[in-house]
Structure formats: structure tokens, C-alpha cells
Amino acid sequence: MSFINILSILLFCIVYYLRTNLLYEGHKMLTEKLYMAMNEQMMLEFASSNLYKSMASWCESKGFKGSAHFLNAHAKEEMEHMEKLFGYINKTGNRAILGTLEAPKAEFGTLREVFEQTFKHEQLITKQIFALADLSLELKDFSTFSFLQWYTAEQHEEEALFHEIIEKFDIIGEQGKGLFMIDKEIGNLLRKH
């Protein structure tokens, strides 16, 4: 083996080491605090998807087909939110970590209770997203703050949507054919939003 070949191999090894160990590992765009908070949010979105799937199953078992369809679609949307965070975390030079989830609640008293809980849950998600946005500003991480603006707008829509559903219970009422009409209206919301 010639001196040039040995030198080329040595140079390749040095460059490879620098790229994989020093440059990549040393250049993480999220602080540890923000990285942990982003992972927690990702897991909250994942848990939201599971919760809405559980609610959809309950609705289906009670004959609320429109609500089941709506909640299944919403569960998919929450999973997309999780995947978006997953991708962002990885693109910042960090690694998204999926943890274990507790089983979501499976039993509900009424259809109204299901949607009151979804509304409260969306309010929790909004609070967490706002805290993440505040943290990113505090840390002067403007890229992450910009990324989170999509989530803040999305949460505004989500809360408005679930508030609209709660209002349907108040306007239509739950007596007689009221629940049938509410369930049908909820199923039709997918076409509007």
C-alpha cells in the first residue's frame, strides 16, 4: 500500500470521525430544556390520538356512528401532529424519543361527557403549546418559535370546533331525538372543517 493510499484512508477516517462525533453531536439546535419539552409535547399528541380512538370506540359501541367517525378522524389528525413534532426534533440534530403511554380512559357516562372531555383536553394541549412557545422565546430559539406558530393556530381551531360541539348539546338538547341529531351534526362537521 502506498503512502498516498494510507494518507487517504487516514484522512477519510478523520473526516468521518469529525462528522459523526464532533460536528453532528456538537451541533444540536435545541437546548436540553426545550428538547425535553418538545419530546413531552410529542408524547402528549400521541396520547391524544389514543384517547380519541378510545372515545371513538365507546361512541361506536353506543351507536353514535357520526361521533365515532369524527373522533377516529381526529385521532389521525393528532397522530399527524405527533409525527410533525417527531420530524422537527430529529431535524434539529436531536432524537425524538417515544415513551410508553398509559391506557386512555375507556368508559364514559354520556356523549356529552365525551365531548366535554375532548374540549378540556384540547385546552390542556393549547396551554402546553403556549408554554413551549414561551420557552422558545425565552431561549431565543426563533426557529422553534416559528415552527410552533402552526400549532398555536391549529389549537385555536381545535378549541373553537369542540366548543361548537358543546354548544350543539345546549341548543338541540339531549331529550328524544336530540342525541341522534347531535350525533349526525358531529359526523357532518368533518365536511366543514
- Residues in the annotated binding site for Fe cation: 45, 78, 81, 122, 155
Task: Dump pLDDT digits (tens) for 150-169.
Answer: 999 999 999 999 999 999 99
- Please report how many Cα atoms fall inside a 13 Å half-sphere around the Cα of residue 13, on the Cβ side: 6
| Residues of the chain under the 50 pLDDT cut | 18-26
Could you give the angle at which helices 32-61 and 111-138 cross, rounded to 10 degrees? 170
| CA dist., res. 36 & res. 113, Å (int) | 32
How confident is the model at residue 191, as a pLDDT? Answer: 63
> According to the model, what pLDDT value does residue 22 have?
41
Annotated binding-site ranges:
45, 78, 81, 122, 155
pLDDT computed for residue 174 by the predictor? 87
Query: CA of 64: how far to CAs of 11, 15, 82, 110, 160, in Å?
Result: 66, 61, 27, 11, 22
Q: Is the pTM of this model over 0.75?
A: yes
CA–CA gap between residue 29 and residue 9 (Å, rounded): 31
Cα 155 to Cα 48: distance, rounded to the nearest angstrom:
13
Question: Which has the closest alpha carbon to 50: 104, 120, 4, 127?
Answer: 104
Report the C-alpha gap between 176 and 39 in whole angstroms: 46
- The string of pLDDT tens digits covering residues 108-139 is 999 999 999 999 999 999 999 999 999 999 99
C-alpha 83/C-alpha 46 separation (Å) is 9
pLDDT for residue 190? 78
Torsion of CA 154, 157, 159, 162, to 10 degrees: -120
Distances (CA, A) of 156 to 66, 125, 145: 23, 11, 16
Q: Name the superfamily (CATH) of residues 31-192.
A: Ferritin, core subunit, four-helix bundle (1.20.1260.10)
